Amino acid sequence: MSELETLLADMVRIDSSNPGLAGGPGEAAFAAHLARLMEQLGMEVDLWDALPGRPNVVGRLPGGGGGRSLMLLGHLDVVAPWGPEAFVPVVREGRMYGRGAADMKCGFAAALLAVEALIAADRRLPGDVLVAGVIDEEWESAGAAALPARWRPDGAVLVECTDLEVVAEHGGFAWYEVVSQGVEAAGADPEHGVDGIALLAPVLAGITALDAELERRPHARYGRGSIHASTIAGGVQLPVYPARCTLSVERCLIAGESVAQAQAEMEGLLSAAREADPRFRGDLRAVVAREPLEQSADEPVIAAVAAAAATVLGRPPVLRGDIGWADSGLLVAAGIPVATFGPAGHGEHTADEWVDLASVATAAQVLERTALTFCA
């Protein structure tokens, strides 16, 4: 194996699946592994718990002073595996397969290779170069939320897979639970039973209608706003009126939309259900919500990444937005501009997750050149 393959394979072998998703072991082992790699490079390492037993990690390559600081940022957690073989990296036709290969341990490999190249060139930059790993992106982003209180770089590059394209803006989302209360009774006792599942019908119909309306509204360059029912669970057995039904809903937001708008839409759906049937008793709970991210392409860190990519690729890179939310939203909200840039990969959250190894090497070159210009 090449140095790159070995570096990334060792990362993929570590199960860092999020505890909030099917009870994964968490990020501690992977954070410790990154800390060791950073120390071997000569970086100063800060390892601390963002949540109990779930540490963030930051490595610092000190600058000489007077320059801007740049953070290369990624999330330590992965989604639940499809089986134990998910953490056995396999290389086929220039691609590495495995849970976390694309989402997003390849970004850490690129970031560390970039730092290694800076050190090997013996060029001490005026500004600091940081490599940061944060917990919990796949659930509530507790790691990114905790980061700015401890580290505040002048700019950051989120090293998610972007197919070597530069992402400056992205969508947001809001997750909700709706609990419909019925009255449990025998199925043959309609005088006393109230169907908590059926009473949700107007809410489901309203979701379908609202999504059709969102399809007709103006779209962002990267996609459209949408809403869908995610899960539904209710009842205990066939011959019984269900006393309770829980519906989960995801509202995907684009530029120009807001979490407050999504909240109002959901409240409107429940109000319509009450008007359709006075027996409907539904409680709305907001689970997690994040605003869409809007930034100017003129932000210095975005411009630096775009210029570096143009030099390495030999052409201007694609500059775009992305419908999916990322930790960059929390950093920008805290006043830290973020460009998202990383290798080419596909199959995130599936059993066919892979990253193109050559693109990891290319991403490392772009990150190195970005640091050379941004931290000057």
Q: Tell me which of 272, 290, 308 is where a domain ends.
A: 290
Q: State whether 154 and 128 are in the same domain.
A: yes
Q: State whether 261 and 365 are in the same domain.
A: no
d(CA 107, CA 101): 9
pLDDT at position 21? 85
Instruction: Report the interhelical angle of 3-12 vs 106-120 (nearest 10°).
Output: 140
d(CA 97, CA 86): 9
pLDDT at position 200? 98
Residue 19 belongs to domain with CATH number: 3.40.630.10
Domain limits for position 228: 172-290
pLDDT at position 340? 98
Q: State whether 188 and 80 are in the same domain.
A: no
Count of domains for the chain: 2
Q: State whether 285 and 309 are in the same domain.
A: no
Sign of the dihedral defined by the CA atoms of residues 325, 334, 285, 206, in that order: negative
Q: State whether 61 and 197 are in the same domain.
A: no
Q: State whether 103 and 179 are in the same domain.
A: no
Residue 258 belongs to domain with CATH number: 3.30.70.360
Q: State whether 346 and 255 are in the same domain.
A: no
Residue 98 DSSP symbol: S
Q: State whether 100 and 208 are in the same domain.
A: no
Q: State whether 148 and 208 are in the same domain.
A: no
Q: Tell me which of 235, 265, 290 is where a domain ends.
A: 290
d(CA 63, CA 103): 30
| Alpha helix positions (H), the chain | 3-12, 28-41, 106-120, 142-146, 201-216, 259-276, 300-313, 328-333, 357-374
Q: State whether 39 and 166 are in the same domain.
A: yes
Q: State whether 204 and 281 are in the same domain.
A: yes
Q: What are phi and psi of 17, to 5 degrees?
A: -65, 145
Q: State whether 304 and 275 are in the same domain.
A: no
pLDDT at position 22? 77
pLDDT along the chain (376 residues), means of 10: 95 97 93 98 98 98 96 98 96 98 98 97 94 96 97 98 98 98 97 97 98 97 97 97 98 97 98 97 96 95 98 98 96 97 97 98 98 97
